[in-house]
Amino acid sequence: MTIRVLVVDDSGFFRRRVSEIINSDPRMEVIGLADNGRQAMEQNEKLKPDVITMDYEMPVMDGITAVRNIMQSRPVPVLMFSSLTFEGARVTLDALEAGALDFLPKNFDAIAKNSAQIRQTLTDKIAAVANSRRRALTESTPPPRPAVVKRGSLSGQVDLVVIGTSTGGPAALQSLFKTIPAGFRTPIIIIQHMPGSFTKAFAERLNRMSPLSVKEAEDGERIEAGHVYVAPGGMQLMVDKRNGGSIHIRESDERVNYRPSVDIAFASAAKHYGRRTLALILTGMGADGREGARLLKQQGATVWAQNEETCVIFGMPMAVIKEGLSDEILALPDIGPKLSAEIG
What residues act catalytically? Answer: 166, 193, 288
Distance, in Å, from the CA atom of 21 to the CA atom of 148, rounded to the nearest integer, reads 41
**Cis before residue 49, ω within 30 degrees of 0?**
no
- Return the closest-CA partner of residue 112 out of 13, 8, 12: 13
**Cis before residue 143, ω within 30 degrees of 0?**
no
Distance, in Å, from the CA atom of 183 to the CA atom of 71, rounded to the nearest integer, reads 35
**Amino acid residing at 52:** I
- The pair phi, psi for residue 296, each rounded to 5°, is -65, -45
Which of helix, strand or coil describes residue 121? Answer: helix
Contact 183, 210 (CB under 8 A): no
Distance, in Å, from the CA atom of 317 to the CA atom of 303, rounded to the nearest integer, reads 10
- Return the closest-CA partner of residue 328 out of 295, 293, 298: 293
| DSSP assignment of 255-271 | T-SSSS-HHHHHHHHHH
